[in-house]
Structure 1
Amino acid sequence: MGRLNRIIPVYKPIGPSTFDLIRIFKKITKFEGKIGHGGTLDPFACGVVLLLLNKATERFEEIKNWEKEYTAGIRLGAESSTGDITGEIKILRDDNLPPPGMKSIGEALKLFVGEIEQRIPPYSAAKFQGTPLYKLARKGIEIEKSKKVKIFNIELLYYRYPVLAIRVFCSGGVYIRQLAQDIARDLKTDGFLYFLQRERVGEYTIKDCLHIQDFDKITIQ
């Protein structure tokens, strides 16, 4: 694939959207060709985003299904209106229920490994009759949709109530925000995703990524 038809792995920091990242890239590099992405990351998330230049955009349907790896932080014992750190947070208090133990955590994580039917979260870009679900959710309309996804493995990285950190190896299309909520509910509580970093997309890892401050050093013309 020529230099003008390439995949560029970029590290998206917390804050900008994937489309902000594309605009910044075009402004700094003066790239005037066709540009797309291999899968978005929410503004509160960070990690690997693949920028697709020119003919590489034609591979989107292939690339979006590549295996992905995430590090996720889950806050148990609380709920968020959006399922993540950006929503309205409510701390739940139930002194009658002890915090989940390590055995319960391990058993809960195993339940979500394999091919599962995953609810599509209301605050997502998935569409219903042509309208993104997040736009409907903002109007108080929640549409129940689900799809089959594959989770290859979930590793426990850290647990000290109320904080749970995991590493997820999965197919494309998995909603980590929804996974966080589902794990919490299996533990008989609520929870939300407070941190998310995409570590890998296919063979591209964070180590391969170009950072925003390095955009002016790349030669693509």
Structure 2
Amino acid sequence: MSSFNQAVVLVTGANGGIGTHFVHEALERGAGKVYATARNPRDWEDDRIVSLALDVTDPASIEAAAQAAGDVTVLINNAGAGVATPGILSHTDAEIRNNVATNFLGPLFLARAFAPILSAKAKPVIIDIHSAMSWYAVGGIYSATKAALWSATNSLRLELAPKGVHVVGAHVGYVDTAMAGNTTDPKMDPADFVRTVMDGVEAGAYEVLADETSMQLKAQLSAPIEGMYPQLANTGA
């Protein structure tokens, strides 16, 4: 089991709706310091919060963050990118590459950069924010990159467990943030999502299914593919 008491936490995408709640919730749970990272970091007006520039798509920026934040004990890979429309063939090269770089390569390279730092600490944790769409391909390129991150998180968990690093993957459907602004489907409050994730971490969970959508989709993975995608029945295949 892990605790955020006196932890040193680094949050990527800290300026966003979910990231902001991770920053504040970590402090509420006793963190001694939080690195709030973003491409354009803001002033948090709290001495416990250190604003740090970080572009998760830039290897040099990742390396600079690791050099600046050598006391980190908890890494929260929260930064993410989406696309305005579904599909995987209809997007531009730039949209596809940005999703891959932000949602998959960024968290992976951050984990690699911080693994030596974390493995030298007591009760270190990596938290990767996935999505229910890791298991549901209607999100197209977004789903594909989140599925890749899910797989990478499983690999990281196995590789880092012998070094004492606890790796947690969190899944959720829509959260009420700007990224989900184009949908009218039910959305989870970001504060509730963050609390659920942190409760899971403190309970020693490896995986957090934060809402009913995530639970249902995970349960359907062993069913025939037509059960997940009934539209396939109308293709004439």
- Give the TM-score, by structure 1 length: 0.29
Structure with max Cα Rg:
1
Higher strand share: 1
The answer to which structure, 1 or 2, has the higher relative contact order (CA under 8 A, 6+ apart) is: 1
Higher helix share: 2
- Give the TM-score, by structure 2 length: 0.28
